[in-house]
Amino acid sequence: MDERIIKTEYSEVMQKSYIDYAMSVIIARALPDVRDGLKPVQRRTLYDMYELGIRYDRPYRKSARIVGDTMGKYHPHGDSSIYEALVVMTQEFKKGLPLIDGHGNFGNIEGDGAAAMRYTEARLQRITQEAFLADLDKNVVDFIPNFDETEREPSVLPVRIPNLLINGAEGIAVGMATSIPPHNLEEVINAVKAYIQNPAIDTGGLMKYIKGPDFPTGGIIINKSELCGIYETGTGKVKVRGRIETEKGKSGRINLIITEIPYPMIGSGISRFLSDVAALAETKKTADIVDISNQSSKEGIRIVIELRKDADVENFKNMLYKKTRLEDTFGVNMLAISQGRPETMGLKEIIKASADFQFELTERKYTTLLAREQEKKEIQEGLIKACNVIDLIIEILRGSRDRAMAKNCLVEGVTEGIRFKSRESQVMAQMLRFTERQANAILEMRLYKLIGLELDALVKEHEETLANIYRYEDILERRDSMATVILHELEEVKKAYRRKRRTVVEDGAEAVFAEKKPEEMDVVFLLDRFGYARTIDTATYERNREAADGENRFVFSCKNTGRICLFTDTGALHTIKVMDVPFGKFRDKGVPLDNISNYDSSAEQIVYAADQRELHLRRVLFVTKLAMVKIVDGGEFDVAKRMVAATKLQEGDAVVDVTPLGEQRDIVLQTEGGYFLKFSLEEIPEKKKNALGVRGMKLGEDDMVKAVYYTGAGTADTIPFQNRTLDLQKVKSGKRDTKGTKVRGV
């Protein structure tokens, strides 16, 4: 077989392949359809349950059975995505209207996951069966082949309510994402009815019915005035707070009870909230907290915060809103698939699409019903006509050799080959002109239909059929009649499944938290050789000065309201608030710097630590192992960021020494190879912190700077070197960027 090689541009192939992949994710995986508000995996799961007969009034079936059948027939993308979709459709705390009735452990609001699919069971909810899957036998939606063309599945479910708004949606596609909040069923249906009755209604008019999102977790929406703009554009942020109630506690204390949480806090957000509240007490942000406990159960959320008697309750509430996720935002991006393409839609566009879909479903439904009634009418008229000449028909049947001969006589009046009792019967038979359907119905008619009461019932049924035909034709021909039908169906769903609004919508006041400034005091910062930091008061330090200086790498005084600067060998500057460092007793262990800063003890080492206020007034000298030196104005380190670059380094270089300059005169560089170079500090230029610096010493091959010393007031004159004492004053002075002097050991 001849090979056929097609040459093409690689970038074009990649571009086309990526676009195909992106569109597949967008259309077939991640985004819901505006008509039924369902993603493909949700639609397929519900349809599979319907096909399996797992109805609301029948026994539960294993979730694994549902997942396996859905994956094998309709959704070949793995069982986990199917089961996760099934689980979410059962969770009342995520969906305003759960579509599946779960039996077993399907997770909880605190973030615990569902049990494995082999343990849980499920069946359809009643509303799912009545408002999502009804009328599938009436040709109301198109059916398409499944992935291997062995089955057929609906392209969209005939959902009778705007599910996209009622249940909301969340999904991440390629280059786009959707985030639609859930709404109240009764309000949404009222808005759809208002639109059907007045298509010119604007977003403001619709919001007379839809007050705003209605989250399953309740809460309080506090930016009511911004909702109209959000619904107009389809994008924006909804601010929502948890609900706090107060109770009298023990010994006259006050208990704050959180009974509702913001919707974004579902899952691990609750444990994060508890940790944040505990951190407020640990970091001394507040001294009002006595105890905190999570008493939530199946009955609902109940988080209890016990406060001191003299606590400012309103100020503490505002602190919770400001410092924790008890006030959060829900990002709205109402993106859905409309007419085969992703589109961001406002409230009116979504309601219009839903209403148009209802008219389409109703038209297709009553077109099918009309065709069925017309077929029934044809058959009924044939049977009634046959009853009037039943003796002749019996004579035809008895005189015919086979069914085809009898049918031909009933339809065409052909009497050849049929034996009649009289010439008159044959003439009458030749005048018969039944239709094909009528002839088949007559041939299949049972004799009991000739009973008088049965004949009366047939006539009555025929009258009902005529009435249905008249009604169906009226619905199909007049939009007002069709609208009346849709409005009636919506009203029935509303009456059966409405519930009270859970989320309050208001224009809440901005949370103003007056954080009490701590009283400024002098403390002593201690950092030991293991990287643990703590602060103690000055009196404690004076009593333990010798032990403190001997056991710690860095010891210095600072203000409790200031910041600490940590310079590392990687050239980074980490800053931490002194308030974040635990204040306590001298023998307290302290806290690892890794826990209160961006410092990573596994990747960098601290070269120098100092009070930021002290550095602000000094000049700082940097020396690296490749002998690069520079002086930087300390004011450049007066930063609020947790981490910045303190100096620029070459590849393979590292900071050896960082020293604030005072009365030092000369610098002495010592290398691994035993070379010493002493030169004046005046030779070192002052540069910016992001500069590389200048070379301070010429290094031999594989040699590097090991230590840095200084001469002048307040410095040591001698250092230990190779089992002897070296007098720095006797080291020969030189110039910067020279090799220095080799010092021999003993």
pLDDT tens digits, one per residue of 29-75 = 788 999 999 999 999 999 999 999 999 999 999 999 999 999 999 99
Dist CA 377 CA 364 (whole Å): 20
Angle between helices 479-497 and 452-477 (to 10 degrees): 100
pLDDT per position as a tens digit, 680-704: 999 999 999 989 999 999 998 889 9
Q: Percent of the chain scored above 70 by pLDDT?
A: 96
Instruction: Kindly report the average pLDDT of the chain as a whole number.
Output: 89
Active centre residues (catalytic): 119
Dist CA 204 CA 344 (whole Å): 19
Dist CA 617 CA 613 (whole Å): 7
Dist CA 532 CA 187 (whole Å): 58
pTM, whole model, 2 decimals? 0.74
Q: How is residue 183 written in tokens?
A: 């709404």
Highest-pLDDT range among 14-18, 157-161, 378-382, 528-532: 157-161
Average pLDDT value for residue range 278-290 = 81
Structure confidence at residue 25 (pLDDT)? 66
**710 by DSSP, 3-state: which?**
strand
**Cα angle for residues 619, 620, 621 (degrees, 5° grid):** 125
Is residue 605 within 8 Å of 598, Cβ to Cβ? no
User: Does the pLDDT at position 453 exceed 60?
Assistant: no
Task: Tell me the pLDDT band of 447, cut-offs 50, 70 and 90.
Answer: low
Q: What is the DSSP secondary structure assignment for residue 450, as one 8-state letter?
A: G
Is residue 169 within 8 Å of 39, Cβ to Cβ? yes
pLDDT per position as a tens digit, 396-446: 788 887 888 888 888 887 878 778 777 887 778 778 888 888 888 878 777
Structure confidence at residue 24 (pLDDT)? 67
Q: How is residue 347 written in tokens?
A: 């409230």
Dist CA 312 CA 257 (whole Å): 15
Quick one: 740 exposed, middle or buried, by C-beta within 10 A (0-12, 13-18, 19+)? buried
- The gap from C-alpha 630 to its chain's centroid, in whole angstroms, comes to 49
Q: Are strands 532-537 and 522-528 parallel, antiparallel or unpaired?
A: antiparallel
pLDDT per position as a tens digit, 558-568: 998 899 999 99
Among the listed residues 356, 376, 360, 355, the one whose alpha carbon sits nearest the alpha carbon of residue 138: 360
Is residue 629 within 8 Å of 581, Cβ to Cβ? no
Within 8 A by CB and 6+ apart from 300, the residues are 259
Among the listed residues 604, 603, 664, 652, the one whose alpha carbon sits nearest the alpha carbon of residue 627: 652
